[in-house]
A and B are shown apart, each in its own frame.
Chain A
């Protein structure tokens, strides 16, 4: 602790004066009385009362001395943040990220706490010290170096919560630029709740670590949606819930799709524990539940209060389905045509093999070649193609005689095609000889199913982005059940080959704060009816940054931040400060706290003001006591 006004220490010389005044008051004037026994009876001179009377007089002396001490302390302007007086320029860096919007342990918003500390620091600045104010989100000098305390306080008050991305380098650059103009005369005060290591500034920096939350802090750290790869008629939802708090916390996990509740479960997590939830839902055409809209995950706390409610809700944009356009090159296949016709996500056109040309294939997502008939592709295969009982000539061995036997071998690494499992053990009567199916220029073999010298299924990837698949046998040349197993397997194979997963809109999935939005991202293209199911009428969605949406009710003007898809874990974990308490960081934080806990209406006053008030009150009290003793009623 230092004193900003050391000459005021001379006021301590008043203490001897107070002591002298005390003894002056206590001096005993000799007085002769006619009869002492009456006075003894009147004064009740028991030893106990005499003791307490002396004690009371001593208390008055101590009260006077204490008042002088307090007033002297106040006039000398004690400074608990001793680092403030070491330099003549101070850079106040205020973290205004969204995580600062959480409620602290005392229920007050952390940003307000940080501002209170910053205000206190400004008010306690020595007269000759100038200060500048910076915000971190986005990095910006709010107030340049100034000795105008009012301007500095205004600048602090005007810093808003921001969802802007974290740019530590730019923050450091700004601070260094400010420091460069006053070499060796600048120090920095960083007020943050970040658990990250503080940025390394060129100037001496003190970090005021805001208090971590004492209760639980559940967060949805990831929430995304995608079409199921093997079956685009289904949507997969994935959520991660983590407890960043210091206590075991429970919550109810609610999931809504297009405004309809589809899941509710209880979750209890230990500190640091993560729970992952993966769910699949079937696409139902014509129903409210469709692929265009929002899914909302929400944590409703059933345990201790959550420190950061902002990350208790997350929204995911459901992928909008694409209708698969299929060109069926066949002389006619009743089973296959009905199979494609039954699938709502597929439209197809039948083309005679003779009429096929590579140019026609360009207008389709997938070309299916049926039954041995592999038209001349002139070495130019379609981007995505599926050959059923047919194969390009370059994949066939010299010995083109059909093979037969059971499919017994499966590749160790293969695309996720669960419905291909029934292939195991299937007996094939007549199959193409695909012994020559191997990597070659522009073609990569992804997987082979069946014996190595006679694979029954070969999956290929064609450069630059196409896929191909060859089923060595026609549909009717095996004992694979056509009514049940084969349609499932074929649908899976169809969508894999059509590369539907790559075609699905990425939306906002799996993107967090600070990541670039996808180029084709059009969040406002959400279907109106779906959005209305989630957001009340009159509320518009305004995109601020990927990962967060600012909901604004145009009728009431109310604003609310929501998180889309995934929160940056660093933001959620911010309440869990891991900055080790060093003397430099601990001192300002702890010494400033007691002043902040002082009640209204002067919460921002520096400590010496409170000391002065206390001293003045003590003096008044002493004066009242002394005055009361001096005022005697007149005798009758």
Chain B
């Protein structure tokens, strides 16, 4: 975890989150497609018709409707009862889960450490994504909560509300807790979605390199009213490795080892496996109405937030 010190993260956040960028973020909204019950007034325009002052539509009166919502002027003209509908202005509970396992802290292959040291780890990139999404949510007066997990939820922040909480959120992102090596993303996600209170929007940022039950979990996830977005973060060297010779491969999380001589054919096989694995996650997620974004850490961050996320329907 070479690039995970708080000082590094703060400077990273300060550099990346300049005023111009933040101003552009403020113009974005997290796209929320599910009905949610809002408790506080927020600036999010929901598809839920509620009690705000902005008229939306009419519908026929049915017994039990609030009589105060009947439009008597229309009754006078048409002699039929219609109820006025208004758009609901709700705040959202946004939970962002950040995978802090060893694979997310992977900084590239050891034989090219110099060049890798200057690059972002997947965890660094995940924290930047979390900060961006969090800022967007805070600026819309949504309630944001961050979670770090590695096999389990290791650390969670309190609900952050309002743009004034953004520095605190950055501090939380920079201050990484002690994290175990293993991912356990499937169990974490399963547990999180089942445990109330469920958030309105749940963003999971991970590499999802968990062979155990991930697909099954996604297929059976108790999504309910919660909108889930998966952001799969992968390192470019991990996505398309350039290796040659005999190696002793060691799993970053389990420390299992494998001796092998890597040929061009073997590398091609690996790339195919990884692509198939990622595509399988994406396919399963989309079948369940779960959002999915796959991103490599060498994609410029602004491009990711301002273009890729919008294209993938996470932001608008």
Residues of A in contact with B (beta carbons under 8 Å apart)? 25-45, 53, 57, 629-636
Q: B209 near A45 (CB under 8 angstroms)?
A: no
The contact sample of 5 A-B pairs, CB cut-off 8 A, is: A31-B110, A34-B207, A40-B258, A41-B273, A43-B266
Q: A42 near B240 (CB under 8 angstroms)?
A: no
Quote the shortest CB–CB distance from A41 to chain B (angstroms): 5
Quote the shortest CB–CB distance from B218 to chain A (angstroms): 17
Q: Which of B103, B243, B268 contacts A34 (CB 8 A)?
A: B103
| Cα distance, A33 to B247, chains bound together (Å) | 11
| Cα distance, A413 to B310, chains bound together (Å) | 139
Q: A42 near B270 (CB under 8 angstroms)?
A: yes
| Cα distance, A30 to B243, chains bound together (Å) | 12
Residues of A within 8 A of B235 (CB): 34
Residues of B within 8 A of A28 (CB): 246-248, 259
- Say yes or no for B41: interface residue by CB 8 A criterion: no
Looking at the complex, which of B60-68, B142-150, B189-197, B249-257 is the stretch in contact with chain A?
Answer: B249-257
Q: A29 near B245 (CB under 8 angstroms)?
A: yes
Q: Which of A39, A53, A635 contacts B249 (CB 8 A)?
A: A39
Q: Which of A31, A37, A41, A629 contacts B263 (CB 8 A)?
A: A629
Residues of A within 8 A of B219 (CB): none
Q: Which residue of chain A has the shortest Cβ distance to B105 in the bound complex?
A: A34
Q: Which residue of chain A has the shortest Cβ distance to B270 in the bound complex?
A: A42
Residues of B within 8 A of A30 (CB): 110, 247-248, 250
Residues of B within 8 A of A31 (CB): 109-111, 243, 247-250
| Cα distance, A167 to B277, chains bound together (Å) | 93
- Say yes or no for B20: interface residue by CB 8 A criterion: no
- Say yes or no for B166: interface residue by CB 8 A criterion: no
- Say yes or no for B316: interface residue by CB 8 A criterion: no
Given A31-B111, A32-B110, A45-B260, decide whether A635 and B269 contact each other with a Cβ distance below 8 A. Answer: no
- Say yes or no for B242: interface residue by CB 8 A criterion: yes
Q: A45 near B258 (CB under 8 angstroms)?
A: yes
Q: Which residue of chain B has the shortest Cβ distance to A27 in the bound complex?
A: B246
Quote the shortest CB–CB distance from B83 to chain A (angstroms): 55
Quote the shortest CB–CB distance from B134 to chain A (angstroms): 25
Residues of B within 8 A of A32 (CB): 106, 109-110, 249-252
- Say yes or no for B180: interface residue by CB 8 A criterion: no
Residues of B within 8 A of A25 (CB): 245-246
Residues of B within 8 A of A39 (CB): 249, 258, 260, 270
The interface bits of chain B over 256-287 (1 if a CB of A lies within 8 angstroms of the residue's CB, else 0) are: 10111101101111111110010000000000
Quote the shortest CB–CB distance from B208 to chain A (angstroms): 10
- Say yes or no for B244: interface residue by CB 8 A criterion: yes
Q: B246 near A36 (CB under 8 angstroms)?
A: no
Residues of A within 8 A of B110 (CB): 29-32
Q: Is the interface of A mostly helix, strand, loop or mixed?
A: mixed
Q: Which residue of chain A has the shortest Cβ distance to B104 in the bound complex?
A: A34
| Cα distance, A31 to B245, chains bound together (Å) | 11
Residues of A within 8 A of B240 (CB): 635-636
Residues of B within 8 A of A636 (CB): 240
| Cα distance, A268 to B111, chains bound together (Å) | 85
Q: B258 near A38 (CB under 8 angstroms)?
A: no
Instruction: Count B-side interface residues using an 8 Å CB cutoff.
Output: 42
The interface bits of chain B over 14-30 (1 if a CB of A lies within 8 angstroms of the residue's CB, else 0) are: 00000000000000000
The 10 closest A-B pairs by CB, nearest first: A36-B251, A42-B269, A35-B209, A635-B240, A34-B103, A42-B270, A632-B264, A28-B248, A31-B247, A37-B211
| Cα distance, A45 to B242, chains bound together (Å) | 20
Residues of A within 8 A of B266 (CB): 42-43
Residues of A within 8 A of B238 (CB): 33-34
Residues of A within 8 A of B267 (CB): 42, 632, 635
Quote the shortest CB–CB distance from A46 to chain B (angstroms): 12
Q: B250 near A36 (CB under 8 angstroms)?
A: yes
| Cα distance, A30 to B106, chains bound together (Å) | 14
| Cα distance, A32 to B268, chains bound together (Å) | 19
Indicate the member of A25, A28, A630 with the most B CB atoms within 10 Å.
A28
| Cα distance, A384 to B289, chains bound together (Å) | 144
Given A630-B244, A635-B271, decide whether A43 and B260 contact each other with a Cβ distance below 8 A. Answer: yes
| Cα distance, A43 to B256, chains bound together (Å) | 15
Given A34-B106, A37-B211, A43-B258, decide whether A633 and B245 contact each other with a Cβ distance below 8 A. Answer: no
Quote the shortest CB–CB distance from B276 to chain A (angstroms): 9
| Cα distance, A493 to B241, chains bound together (Å) | 119
Quote the shortest CB–CB distance from B237 to chain A (angstroms): 10
| Cα distance, A25 to B246, chains bound together (Å) | 7
| Cα distance, A635 to B244, chains bound together (Å) | 12
Quote the shortest CB–CB distance from B200 to chain A (angstroms): 31
Q: Which residue of chain B has the shortest Cβ distance to A57 in the bound complex?
A: B261
Residues of A within 8 A of B269 (CB): 41-44
The interface bits of chain B over 92-126 (1 if a CB of A lies within 8 angstroms of the residue's CB, else 0) are: 00000000000100100111000000000000000
Indicate the member of A25, A29, A33, A634 with the most B CB atoms within 10 Å.
A33
Residues of A within 8 A of B248 (CB): 28-31
| Cα distance, A222 to B268, chains bound together (Å) | 84
Q: B258 near A42 (CB under 8 angstroms)?
A: no
| Cα distance, A633 to B277, chains bound together (Å) | 23
Q: Which residue of chain A has the shortest Cβ distance to B244 in the bound complex?
A: A632
Q: B263 near A33 (CB under 8 angstroms)?
A: no
Q: B207 near A36 (CB under 8 angstroms)?
A: no
Given A42-B266, A42-B272, decide whether A34 and B260 contact each other with a Cβ distance below 8 A. Answer: no
Residues of B within 8 A of A629 (CB): 261, 263
Q: Which residue of chain A has the shortest Cβ distance to B208 in the bound complex?
A: A35
Residues of A within 8 A of B258 (CB): 36, 39-40, 43, 45
Q: Which of A26, A35, A42, A635 contacts B251 (CB 8 A)?
A: A35
Residues of A within 8 A of B249 (CB): 31-33, 36, 39
Quote the shortest CB–CB distance from B24 to chain A (angstroms): 32
Quote the shortest CB–CB distance from A176 to chain B (angstroms): 69
The interface bits of chain B over 226-240 (1 if a CB of A lies within 8 angstroms of the residue's CB, else 0) are: 000000000100101
| Cα distance, A484 to B245, chains bound together (Å) | 113
| Cα distance, A34 to B259, chains bound together (Å) | 16
| Cα distance, A298 to B249, chains bound together (Å) | 85
| Cα distance, A32 to B251, chains bound together (Å) | 6
Q: Which residue of chain A has the shortest Cβ distance to B250 in the bound complex?
A: A32
Residues of B within 8 A of A633 (CB): 264, 268
| Cα distance, A53 to B268, chains bound together (Å) | 18
| Cα distance, A336 to B246, chains bound together (Å) | 120
New A-B pairs, 5, CB < 8 Å, besides A29-B110, A630-B244, A631-B264: A29-B111, A31-B109, A34-B106, A42-B266, A42-B272
Quote the shortest CB–CB distance from A320 to chain B (angstroms): 92
Quote the shortest CB–CB distance from B82 to chain A (angstroms): 59
Quote the shortest CB–CB distance from B295 to chain A (angstroms): 15
Q: Which residue of chain B has the shortest Cβ distance to A29 in the bound complex?
A: B247
| Cα distance, A39 to B235, chains bound together (Å) | 16
Q: A29 near B274 (CB under 8 angstroms)?
A: no
